């Protein structure tokens, strides 16, 4: 049986150290210093550790289904901090019917007239589900505050009501886990420049991202104020050092696993019976079907 260290099903309290089997000493020592002065991990070690953790994520998925847990994981942080890449590695091996990702667009005019948390509540999990928010209700404390998309009163009301909203979620047996991906000014700028050079990544640089680049200090102040009000005992913030993407992914996934005490309920291998002989079936002529051109051998 594989077990991780969360002592109950209501909050991330009582966390114990991660299982050393996931992060052996040789993996810890493998980090070297790259040309940019930041730690690095070789690809082989990274892929080996990620593989181990993804197997554990599948075990956790089955445990969530079996026990009927309701899990919400919030990912917040700077633009280009690596939230999306980490979410992708978490969800890659999982069943989307159990683990779903919510990334809401800007609110519609109708949604703007609703209770602020209303459109997020609609995506909360039922028993046996985990929902990952790729940005969340904390938009109000970040981009909306910095860019002036909300009034001062709306902002102050958010800071007052958000802790109570989250305590209410926890009281309703939702496990709420919040990650903040922290990236330095220099590293964010490097990633922005890399996205500009890569055609397949330019879509990631929205006009809002480019505008936020000019307001680093304002975002820093907004984040500090947000933490001061919402880093609560029932749902604390966990800060991920995200200057090195691969290390951030491993550290975040390892920490997520450490918040749960679970057992291995993954289906056991089965022996497939011989395929029955097909009798009385004639396949339609191949020329009657339309095939995708085989351009590549």
Residue-wise pLDDT tens digits, 253-263: 999 999 999 99
- 63 vs 23, residue with greater confidence: 63
> pLDDT tens digits for 157-211?
999 999 999 999 999 999 999 999 999 989 988 888 888 888 888 887 777 777 7
Q: Which of 44, 58, 128, 66 is nearest to 89 (CA)?
A: 58
Q: Which residue has the tokens 């991990």?
A: 41
Share of the chain above pLDDT 90, in %: 69
pLDDT at 97 over 90: yes
pLDDT of residue 5: 42
Beta-sheet pairing, 174-182 with 129-134: unpaired
Angle between helices 43-67 and 245-258 in degrees, nearest 10: 30
pLDDT of residue 219: 93
> Which of 31-40, 218-227, 230-239, 274-283 has the least mean pLDDT?
31-40
Task: Bin 61: left if φ > 0, else alpha if -120 < ψ < 50, else beta.
Answer: alpha
pLDDT of residue 86: 98
pLDDT at 32 over 90: no
pLDDT of residue 7: 39
pLDDT of residue 128: 98
| Mean pLDDT across 18-32 | 51
pLDDT of residue 183: 94
| Mean pLDDT across 238-251 | 97
Q: What is the pTM of this model?
A: 0.85
pLDDT at 19 over 70: no
pLDDT of residue 31: 55
Q: Give the pLDDT band (50/70/90) at residue 276.
A: confident
Domains, the chain, in order of start with CATH, read: 25-270 (3.40.50.300)
- 98 vs 28, residue with greater confidence: 98
pLDDT of residue 4: 46
pLDDT of residue 23: 52
- 248 vs 1, residue with greater confidence: 248
pLDDT of residue 275: 86
* Strand, helix or coil for residue 268: coil
> Which of 75-89, 203-217, 278-292 has the least mean pLDDT?
203-217
pLDDT at 60 over 50: yes
> pLDDT tens digits for 139-155?
999 999 999 999 999 99
Task: Bin 145: left if φ > 0, else alpha if -120 < ψ < 50, else beta.
Answer: alpha
Please give the mean pLDDT across all residues of the chain: 89
> pLDDT tens digits for 100-123?
999 999 999 999 999 999 999 999
- List all residues 6 or more positions away from 192 whose beta carbon is below 8 Å from its beta carbon: 79, 80, 205, 209, 213
């Amino acid at each position: 049986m594989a077990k991780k260290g969360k002592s109950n099903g209501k909050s991330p309290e009582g966390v114990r150290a991660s299982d050393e089997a996931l992060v052996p000493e040789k993996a810890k020592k493998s980090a070297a210093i790259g040309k940019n002065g930041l730690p690095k991990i070789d690809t082989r070690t990274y892929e080996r550790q990620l593989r181990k953790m993804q197997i554990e994520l599948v075990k956790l998925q089955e445990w969530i289904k079996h026990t009927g847990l309701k899990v919400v994981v919030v990912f917040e942080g700077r633009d280009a901090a690596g939230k999306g890449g980490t979410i992708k590695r978490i969800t890659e091996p999982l069943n989307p019917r159990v683990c779903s990702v919510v990334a809401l667009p800007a609110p519609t005019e109708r949604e703007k007239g609703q209770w602020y948390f209303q459109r997020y509540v609609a995506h909360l999990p039922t028993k046996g589900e985990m929902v990952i928010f790729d940005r969340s209700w904390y938009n109000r404390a970040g981009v909306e505050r910095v860019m002036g998309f909300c009034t001062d009163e709306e902002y102050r009301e958010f800071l007052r009501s958000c802790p109570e909203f989250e305590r209410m979620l926890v009281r309703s047996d939702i496990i709420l886990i919040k990650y903040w991906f922290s990236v330095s000014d220099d590293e964010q700028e490097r990633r922005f420049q890399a996205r500009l050079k890569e055609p397949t990544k330019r879509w990631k640089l929205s006009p809002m991202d480019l505008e936020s680049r000019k307001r680093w200090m304002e975002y820093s102040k907004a984040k500090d104020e947000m933490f001061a009000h919402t880093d609560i005992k029932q749902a604390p913030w966990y800060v991920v050092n995200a200057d090195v993407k691969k290390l951030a992914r491993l550290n975040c996934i390892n920490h997520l696993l450490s918040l749960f005490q679970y057992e291995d309920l993954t289906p056991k291998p089965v022996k497939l019976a011989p395929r029955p002989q097909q009798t009385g079936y004639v396949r339609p002529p191949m020329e009657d079907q339309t095939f995708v051109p085989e351009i590549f051998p």
